[in-house]
Chain A
């Protein structure tokens, strides 16, 4: 295996690792959550009940819901990452 060659590689690797522990897992969870949520709840009724003056199609509702789930998961993953980093500091 190649050894650590330069700082750029190192940075790229870090970036990937962060991406892998935040963006990706929250994406997977959001996908499952959307299926479960929208399998049971029709975005159209949600919209009619909460934002009647807006005009959002069902497809739009699913999309917004999915990205909301993803956003929430992402926020939590990022917090995790930060907290874990701080936990590594020797006390």
Chain B
């Protein structure tokens, strides 16, 4: 890319102060902001039984999600969850364009929240623009200072909440009060606060324009039936100012009165009338702004509206396209699989490790013995006693120190198991056999692992 092209791509602009607009889409967006932030800030405070309902307990490597507890052994669910997230993003993007960007992306949501605080302290768009240019008077210092104070407190609370997903938030709160948090907790609290403050307070739309990978590759999921925000050029052009009572047809004008409100409302500072641009985060602020103007002019609404390329070209719009169906089917399949396997999950897992030093031992002339360590993970929320059984080789027998293997709720334990097989039943090393562990309290709780028995070659 030449220098010149670069400078064309990255056109200089002053800080964008989006104009506040009112309208159904902005109500929806505000609602999304309130709901999403409410969930974010509220969730860690929720208790379930006697612990935090949602807690990624990193120090003990468990993840609590309401009644469920996941362990590192359940990593597959995390992987599936990432796949589900990616597929949903594909699905919704194909269907409705950048819904995510406009309504749900944390970048947008926190930016909105920060703009509210800005509006509260520095006033509306005109006031803010004037304040930017004003000399540093007492009033400016107060307003600016107030804004930053609000931002910083909010950012710190955001960082605190973030760490609260990883350390029990009540303890965390006490730790903060008594200044007794561990180093790493402080570190993440401040790191996340600074990131929030920087991204939502300063970088804002520049994250979307310069940094976000999704913004760059979302167009690959678009097709001619994807919902986009568009300006009806046919109807709007030629644009131009006019008196409210004037008949635009007589003046040879389209419906766009060139008031520039759509540009002022745009949080990324683009002019939607120039066509769909990758900077557009589909926030629909321009729609609301323009509809307001259309109402005032007594023109029909929808000069800027949600539409599709096909609809604009006057072709029939289709919702169910192959790619949408494919994404949907994949998504449902993964979700169903995940739900099923979670419901079938047994709260027990074992790992069978052979003794590394001694491959096999001859107990007497007729019997060969292998020693295994069985690591038992009781993922349940009650203690269990387990019985161990071996199977799969003729005459195989297992001996454990205690007949009852008791493992407490949510803990691990290792038992040494001596497995014996008659010599004449062995042919060669690496014979597979099954080791089965079953709870005495609940016969549904059982697992079977395959291990290998080693003996001499004849």
A interface residues with partner B (beta carbon < 8 Å): 1-6, 9-10, 13-14, 16-17, 19-21, 24-25, 28, 32, 35-36, 39-40, 42, 57-60, 62-63, 88
Contact = CB atoms under 8 A, between A and B. Distances in A.
7 closest A-B pairs by CB:
A20-B210, A20-B211, A9-B12, A24-B211, A59-B184, A13-B10, A39-B75
12 contacts: A3-B11, A4-B12, A5-B12, A13-B10, A16-B10, A20-B211, A25-B211, A28-B213, A57-B59, A58-B61, A59-B182, A63-B187
Contacts of B12: 2-6, 9-10, 13
Nearest to B63: A39
Nearest to B188: A63
Interface size, B (range): 20 to 34
Nearest to B8: A4
Given A39-B78, A40-B75, A62 B61 contact: no
B271 to A, nearest CB: 8
B72 interface: yes
Contacts of A62: 58
A17 B61 contact: no
A contacts with B: majority SS: helix
B363 to A, nearest CB: 33
Contacts of A1: 11, 13, 269-271
A58 B58 contact: yes
A81 to B, nearest CB: 12
Contacts of B82: 32, 35
B78 A35 contact: yes
Contacts of B14: 2
B210 A40 contact: no
B211 A19 contact: yes
Nearest to B209: A20
A2 B61 CA distance: 52
Contacts of B13: 1-2, 9
A88 B3 CA distance: 10
Interface string B120-140: 000000000000000000000
B2 interface: yes
A57 B78 contact: no
A59 B210 contact: no
Contacts of A36: 79
B1 interface: yes
Contacts of A9: 12-13
Nearest to B195: A27
Contact of A88 (B2, B58, B59, B270): B2
Contacts of A39: 72, 75, 78
B260 interface: no
B441 interface: no
A55 B11 CA distance: 50
B72 A88 contact: no
A60 to B, nearest CB: 5
A63 B183 CA distance: 11
B7 interface: yes
B174 interface: no
Interface in B59-85: 59, 61, 72, 75, 78-79, 82
Contacts of B255: none
B377 to A, nearest CB: 13
B61 to A, nearest CB: 6
A58 B167 CA distance: 12
Interface string B1-29: 11000110011111000000000000000
A42 B61 contact: yes
Contacts of B182: 57, 59
A29 B13 CA distance: 30
Nearest to A2: B13
B78 A16 contact: no
B206 interface: yes
Contacts of A60: 183-184
